[in-house]
Structure 1
Amino acid sequence: MILLYRPNEKFPVCEPQHVRTSNYSYIQSINATPASSQSKSDPNFLSILTDVADAGNDMDPSPSQTALMRKVEGLLEVNKNLDHSTMIPYYKAVVSPIRCIPTEIWAMIFVECLRYENRLYIEVVRDEAPLNVAGVCKRWRAIALSTPFLWSSIWITRSPSLDSSYPRRELVSLWLARSAPCPISFSFTIDMQGDLPAVQDLYAGNKQNSPDQEALVGELLSCMSRWKSVQFALPFLNGYDIEAGAPLLERVKVIKDVVQSWSTFDPFIHRIWEDAPRLRIFSLCDDTDWSIRYEKDLLPVPIRLTELDIDFDYPLILCWLVFHESPELTTCNLGRFCGIEDSCATLPPVFLPQLHSLTVTSTIQLFDEGETLKLTKVLSLITAPNLKTFGMYWDNGYLHEPLMSFLARSACALTELFIFTVPIPKREMKEVLEAISGSIKVLKVDVGMTGTPFGKDLLRSLTWRGPDEKFLCPNLERILFGRSVIGKRNSLFIRMVESRWHVDNGRVRLDEVEIYSSRKLGPPPGFDQLEVYQREGLKLHVDYDWDTEIKSDMEGGDTE
């Protein structure tokens, strides 16, 4: 039986309340010293207590409780001058079953404390593992310090001025030393919630780490052969000559929060994926400098990936190379394309049999500047027969033919479709839903000010009219619509939802409806009619999203 430890949880051991050290401990250390008053009144108490405690130490991890109690009785018999009624509670505490737990089991319990919140990177907090368990008693501290896995993950944040970090470099060095020889994971990011002038200065131009932070980077690079999962924000290194590879590396996420040249960054990333045979998850997010285009190379491309998330200016031809070199890709999120107009017609679609989630997106900034994006051209590069989730965001140059060709070529059974701010016409929206009608379960559409893709004909096609009548998307379980999706066809929308809630003959019910709206507009008229079905289990939500707030203000011509 494994005993799980959780902070603030009391464990029923056989000792009096004043023996416990804190809410985080269950019992005193085996080397605990009794109160001074007891020691003075009973000079033999400490030696007897220590003698009994040693019977349950690591040299004999599973002593018989009966044997221990006999030992206690024998010692009490020898020391008849002691008050048995006073001493017995202390001896019961010493021979409590919790003292019989071997060191290996304690180590497993401490490791489970890390996994309790399923955190990828561990923050250095005094009241959380591993620091809290290491501060309970002498034995727990010894076990914690001799368990490298407890120290194999750490979250480090730098100030926007890049001159200090939390935790401090000395503690990080100690943490890394305790983790040896385990693989390590770390996050080395910038605290963007810090001093506002420093944050503005960070965005204003090139920034360099302070000498202390460069020393910290050196500490992390010295352990590069043990990297398992890493996340860091630029600037990370300034001119380091990387010689070692990362043979254990599985996950990399790079965040670009500063206007910094890629000249030192590209060779570093190349070295990582050239000498990282286990690399499967790669993420690159560039949150700065949308005006500088086509400068990022990142060649050769990473290979053997299963998850890819790229949010920076990425040529369409480079996407094809990534797909070609990553046949095991399962999840892909691509955004901020450049070179979309380049000719890729001669490139054959890449067959990705394991791809189940695909998202193509752009940035709001480029969309608002009036640039035509035509993100759907990316779909001409892929054939994905097992795709389940597809999302398309911020494409003001929507092309219908690439999407329909992709669906026909892949013959995939999409279960989730997300369309956000895409000017898709009513007729073409209906064609898309007809192509995936039999499999779709979740439909999320919010087109903003780009039109109303759900016309009368489409809403009527989605309405159930009886057991012998065909209707569109019979397996639909959730719909998430922006108010602009249905326009003024509120009654048709309410009727469609009601009909799908009352659907019978073993068909799937629509059990969740969510509407995105502004506080000014509120939910669609008649939406309150659906509240009567909430008691029967229908889930209704109105989400007052910040983006729809802005759109409604623009439409109304005033500010709330």
Structure 2
Amino acid sequence: MTDSESSRLCSGCSTTLAELDSVLKQPLISSPTPNEILETNHPPIESQLPSIRDFISTGRARMRVLNAKFAALRSSNCSIEALQSSIDKLLALDVEIRKHKGAISPLRRMPTEVLSLIFTSTISQHGITESAPWTVSAVCARWRATVIYQPRFWTFINLGYFSRSSTHYLRLEIQLQRSGELPLAVQCSSKDTSHFGSPELRLLRLVCEHARRWGKLSVSGSSYLYSQIVDFVQDRLVLLQELEIEVECPAYEGNLPALDIFQDAPLLQRVVLNQKTWPYPVLGMTLPWSQLVQYGASNSWDGHLHALASAANLVECSLEIQGSGQPPGASILLPHLLRLSLSHPTFLECLETPALIELYCDYAPLLLPFLRRNLCKLKTLTLSHCYKNPADDSDLVHIVEEVPTIVNLGLLPGLSFPIELSDTLSSRPDVAPALECISTVIGTGNDIDKDRYEHFARAIDSLWRHGRLRSVKLCPDYGFSLPTIDSIELLRAQGLEFLITEGDYQIFYEDVLPSQFQINTNKDYNPHEIWYDSDDDF
């Protein structure tokens, strides 16, 4: 650098290049903060915070000087070595500043208890993020310590995840150790026996050795997988509370082994059996029926009658009924049943449910007599169309008239909101005094037209004006364009929740009908097909 160049002023800070060059040659400012704070993610103590903030302030000031030096050098005829030296200084100082800013980051100083709560939300108990504890524990030393020493993060076991890892058996052993003695949620699935080999069977045998700790078991796939579990489990299932089995068993394979390994599970309360794989043969069931609270299954008419006769404590029930039959001599009393879904509405003739508050089923003429007989305080009624029993408009009106406790009324695709019911709600404020939510389809083929929608709109207006209605969920059928009705737009502006799914039956179906009450046999005549989506194969 010549004398004239060294005496030239920097336009950015009125400093000569010689002075900037001397700044460049100065060593980086030193920090009193220990490397164990800067090089790790351990939080600093309170007394170290002032010096860390002071370093950041001083470092930013020097960064401005170095930036000015670099800009001046770039505009001069300096050597590449000088430019590179300036860049190295800038990068090194930037790294140090970032380390110190990280040391005082709120995340660094977040209490371990708060971190644990955040991790809990990422480590699902439903198989969505089964690798989460392994991923979280690999981020940093603090996160690793937080996760490793809390057994609840390691209690979900998806055998499909371990079978995809080259160190599958060792990982499963480690996870079982880290879970301590807490109850396990175990999930395994396989479509056919070709997915099974020695490694998979070793994994299955290992997790079956901890059967005494199973709190929830989900099995889906081939009958071979199920039979292996029956063979491997030797311990009493003392902690098992939830059981889900979806086993595909073609007729040529014969009958499955009876579910006798579950008959002595003292805490078992929730059972789902082949509710999604309903076309396959019914499972042989030996269960502690009297202690079950939730039950969903595919079975024959008589099979369900046999099960329910011993399950007097049920609170929720979803029945996929294969075939038909006759009511028993005396109705089966389910005194605690609150929520019921069933595929065959005539099965209602077999039941007494005085506490029922939610009912999901096809429409049938016997529905009204059932409601009259039980005198239950029904709050949710969701009906679907049955091609064998076309809905009677007057029946739907009588149901709403005679069950004044209905809060949520849902009519699934194929069963539209009748004009007679709309007119009744419009003209009689005393009808449906508790009704708050209506879910229905408008426009099914040529049967529903603009006139029907206008009647429906008047009913909505009347219900809103009388202070009851809160929400309307509407699904226009394909090819039916909803006309704009000013009264509806006004109600929306006043706060009415008016949702339109624009002909998307699936969204409407899943929103109106809770997943645990969705059943499959209606697919023969229902436009909503709820097919079983298996998880990763094991």
Superimposed CA distance per residue, residues 423-456 of structure 1 (whole angstroms, 9 cap, x where no aligned partner): 22223222222222x22222222463xxx77554
Contact 2:293 2:313 in 1 (8 A): yes
Give the Cα–Cα distance (whole angstroms) in 1 for the partners of residues 470 and 332 of structure 2: 36
The structure with more helix, counted as a fraction of residues: 2
Contact 2:401 2:431 in 1 (8 A): no
Shift of 1:230: 2.0
Q: Which amino acid aligns with 1:136?
A: V
Q: Which amino acid aligns with 1:389?
A: E
SS class of match (1:320) = helix
Which of these residues, 358, 362, 369, is aligned with residue 389 of structure 1?
Answer: 358
Shift of 1:93: 7.5
Which of these residues, 336, 340, 354, is aligned with residue 358 of structure 1?
Answer: 340
Contact 1:114 1:150 in 2 (8 A): yes
Contact 1:226 1:249 in 2 (8 A): yes
Which of these residues, 294, 315, 318, is aligned with residue 303 of structure 2?
Answer: 318
What do you get for the CA RMSD once the two structures are aligned?
A: 4.4
| Count of aligned residue pairs for this structure pair | 434
User: Match for residue 331 of structure 2?
Assistant: 348
In the alignment, is residue 497 of structure 1 matched against residue 457 of structure 2?
yes
Contact 2:212 2:236 in 1 (8 A): yes
Matches within 5 A, 1:126-525: 129-157=132-160, 165-167=163-165, 169-170=168-169, 171-190=171-190, 202=192, 209-235=196-222, 236-239=225-228, 240-257=231-248, 259=250, 265-267=256-258, 269-272=259-262, 274-285=263-274, 287-288=276-277, 290=279, 296-300=283-287, 302-310=289-297, 312=298, 314-338=299-323, 340-342=324-326, 344-353=327-336, 355-361=337-343, 375-393=344-362, 398=364, 400-401=365-366, 403-422=367-386, 423-436=390-403, 438-446=404-412, 448=414, 455-464=418-427, 470-472=430-432, 475-484=435-444, 487-488=447-448, 490-503=450-463, 506-509=466-469, 511-518=471-478, 521-523=479-481
Q: What's the TM-score once normalised by structure 2's chain length?
A: 0.67
SS class of match (2:290) = coil
SS class of match (2:444) = helix
Contact 2:102 2:108 in 1 (8 A): no
Contact 2:237 2:265 in 1 (8 A): yes
Q: What's the TM-score once normalised by structure 1's chain length?
A: 0.64
Give the Cα–Cα distance (whole angstroms) in 1 for the partners of residues 182 and 432 of structure 2: 54
Aligned-residue identity in percent: 14
Contact 2:475 2:505 in 1 (8 A): no
> Structure 1 residues 189 and 175 mapped into 2: Cα distance closer, same or farther (>3 Å)?
same
Give the Cα–Cα distance (whole angstroms) in 2 for the partners of residues 508 and 530 of structure 1: 17
> Structure 1 residues 386 and 490 mapped into 2: Cα distance closer, same or farther (>3 Å)?
farther
SS class of match (1:544) = coil
User: Match for residue 126 of structure 2?
Assistant: 120
> Structure 1 residues 309 and 166 mapped into 2: Cα distance closer, same or farther (>3 Å)?
farther
Contact 1:446 1:482 in 2 (8 A): no
Give the Cα–Cα distance (whole angstroms) in 2 for the partners of residues 99 and 335 of structure 1: 50
Contact 1:464 1:470 in 2 (8 A): no
SS class of match (1:254) = strand
> Structure 1 residues 498 and 152 mapped into 2: Cα distance closer, same or farther (>3 Å)?
same
Give the Cα–Cα distance (whole angstroms) in 1 for the partners of residues 256 and 113 of structure 2: 39
> Structure 1 residues 464 and 132 mapped into 2: Cα distance closer, same or farther (>3 Å)?
farther
Give the Cα–Cα distance (whole angstroms) in 2 for the partners of residues 445 and 91 of structure 1: 60
SS class of match (1:419) = strand
Q: Which amino acid aligns with 2:178?
A: R
Give the Cα–Cα distance (whole angstroms) in 2 for the partners of residues 377 and 305 of structure 1: 24
Matches within 5 A, 1:31-70: 49=34, 65-66=46-47
Q: Which amino acid aligns with 1:251?
A: E
SS class of match (1:219) = helix
SS class of match (1:186) = strand
Contact 2:425 2:462 in 1 (8 A): no
List alignment gaps of at least 5 residues for structure 1: 1-40, 74-85, 159-163, 191-198, 362-374, 554-560
In the alignment, is residue 106 of structure 1 matched against residue 112 of structure 2?
yes
Contact 1:462 1:473 in 2 (8 A): no
Shift of 1:64: 6.9
Shift of 1:221: 0.6
User: Match for residue 23 of structure 2?
Assistant: none
Contact 1:185 1:230 in 2 (8 A): yes
Give the Cα–Cα distance (whole angstroms) in 2 for the partners of residues 551 and 458 of structure 1: 24
> Structure 1 residues 546 and 166 mapped into 2: Cα distance closer, same or farther (>3 Å)?
farther
Shift of 1:174: 3.0
Give the Cα–Cα distance (whole angstroms) in 1 for the partners of residues 391 and 99 of structure 2: 78
> Structure 1 residues 250 and 482 mapped into 2: Cα distance closer, same or farther (>3 Å)?
farther
Contact 2:416 2:441 in 1 (8 A): no
Contact 2:341 2:361 in 1 (8 A): yes
> Structure 1 residues 260 and 90 mapped into 2: Cα distance closer, same or farther (>3 Å)?
same
Q: Which amino acid aligns with 1:308?
A: Y
Q: Which amino acid aligns with 1:305?
A: L
Which of these residues, 532, 539, 544, is aligned with residue 489 of structure 2?
Answer: 532
Superimposed CA distance per residue, residues 183-221 of structure 1 (whole angstroms, 9 cap, x where no aligned partner): 21122234xxxxxxxx7xx5xxx7672222212211221
Give the Cα–Cα distance (whole angstroms) in 1 for the partners of residues 315 and 178 of structure 2: 35
Q: Which amino acid aligns with 1:259?
A: P
> Structure 1 residues 177 and 506 mapped into 2: Cα distance closer, same or farther (>3 Å)?
same
Give the Cα–Cα distance (whole angstroms) in 2 for the partners of residues 262 and 358 of structure 1: 33
